[in-house]
């Protein structure tokens, strides 16, 4: 039986799962990166054991999910108990807390959550434009809005804050040298912007702080190895064909 948050008697099961890293995971999502991209990055960086499970009959499975959407994460511990976490941002934070990627004190957690929220807002606008709009004319207008306002504003703001925070103290990440979920999501966004606009907004000369953050994330050996797999290449190609990035 799978424990969900909707039954409060499952509190102990969730707390036990969250305090141990011996579980195995099932990530239920479609065969692309999409809204599960950061989740996959977390699982890869931490070396967690997981399987990607795409829906076999989404129309039939959709009503059985918590909110009629994916991704969903299922975790089974050594005790045989399974928990389920729904919604991409909740999954990211759950895994981030579990694997110490959310900061170690109130200040650090506030920093991470602040940039996570900003990065999530950016991605939501991106998915709204490319993932939910089918009319070519409306999609073109949305892309113009992204290129003229959303992307340059995001790049300018995050570049400024990273330079301010790391200028005197060193490091390339939001917490200097400590990797967090916010860094993974930022590196993902930088890649997307480069795919959509080349070097128009992001480059080593124009945005050295953002460039440095992505380079630091890309050094992770687990992440690099994953990106060489056929599974990743197939998902990335599906992402490009369906979403354009």
Global pTM value: 0.95
Q: Which CATH class is domain 106-243?
A: mainly alpha
Strand order of the β-sheet with 49-53 is 2-3, 82-86, 72-76, 24-28, 49-53
Rounded CA-CA distance 11/215 in Å is 39
The pLDDT assigned to 140 comes to: 80
Q: What is the reported pLDDT for 92?
A: 99
Dihedral angle sign, alpha carbons of residues 156, 159, 162, 167: negative
Asked whether the beta carbons of 181 and 42 are under 8 A apart, the reply is yes
CATH of domain 2-98: 3.40.30.10
Euclidean distance between CA atoms 180 and 164, whole angstroms: 18
- The residues, ordered by sequence, that sit 6+ positions from 185 with a Cβ below 8 Å of its Cβ are 38, 92, 116, 119, 120, 123
With H, G, I as helix, E, B as strand and everything else as coil, classify residue 130: helix
Q: Which residues pair with 74 in a beta bridge?
A: 26, 84
Per-residue pLDDT 10s for the chain (245 aa) are 899 999 999 999 999 999 988 899 999 999 999 999 999 999 999 999 999 999 999 999 999 999 999 999 999 999 999 999 999 999 999 999 999 999 999 999 999 999 999 999 999 999 988 877 777 787 788 788 889 999 999 999 999 999 999 976 779 999 999 999 999 999 999 999 999 999 999 999 999 999 999 999 999 999 999 999 999 999 999 999 888 88
pLDDT for the residue numbered 144:
86
Rg (CA), the chain: 18
Distant-in-sequence, close-in-space partners of 130: CB < 8 Å, separation ≥ 6: 139, 142, 143, 243, 244, 245
| Domain ranges across the chain | 2-98, 106-243
d(CA 45, CA 57): 30
- Give the number of C-alpha atoms closer than 13 A to the C-alpha of residue 96, restricted to the C-beta side: 25
pLDDT for 187: 99
Q: What would the two tokens of residue 175 be?
A: 């917490």
Instruction: Say what the pLDDT of residue 29 is.
Output: 98
Task: With residue 96 as reference, give the H or E element that holds it.
Answer: helix 88-98
- DSSP assignment of 20-87, as one string? -S--EEEEE--SSSGGGHHHHHHHHHHT-EEEEE--SSHHHHGGGSSSS-S-EEEEE-TTS-EEEEES
């Amino acid at each position: 039986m799978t424990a969900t948050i909707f039954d409060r008697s499952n509190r102990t099961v969730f707390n036990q799962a969250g305090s141990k890293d011996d579980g195995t995971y099932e990530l239920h999502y479609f065969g692309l990166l999409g809204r599960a991209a950061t989740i996959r990055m977390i699982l890869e960086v931490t070396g967690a054991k997981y399987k990607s499970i795409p829906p076999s009959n989404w129309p039939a499975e959709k009503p059985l999910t918590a909110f009629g959407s994916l991704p969903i994460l299922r975790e089974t511990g050594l005790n045989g108990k399974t928990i389920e976490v729904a919604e991409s941002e909740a999954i990211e934070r759950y895994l981030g807390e579990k694997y110490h990627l959310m900061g170690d004190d109130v200040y650090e957690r506030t920093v991470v959550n602040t940039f996570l929220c900003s990065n999530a807002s950016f991605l939501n606008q991106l998915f709204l434009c490319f993932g939910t709009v089918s009319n070519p004319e409306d999609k073109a207008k949305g892309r113009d809005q992204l290129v003229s306002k959303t992307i340059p504003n995001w790049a300018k703001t995050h570049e400024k804050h990273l330079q301010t925070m790391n200028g005197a103290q060193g490091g390339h990440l939001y917490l200097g040298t400590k990797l967090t979920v916010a860094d993974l999501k930022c590196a993902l966004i930088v890649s997307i912007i480069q795919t959509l606009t080349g070097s128009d907004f992001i480059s080593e000369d124009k945005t050295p702080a953002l460039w440095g953050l992505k380079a630091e994330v890309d050094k992770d050996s687990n992440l690099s190895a994953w990106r060489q797999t056929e599974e990743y290449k197939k998902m990335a190609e599906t992402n490009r064909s369906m979403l354009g990035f």
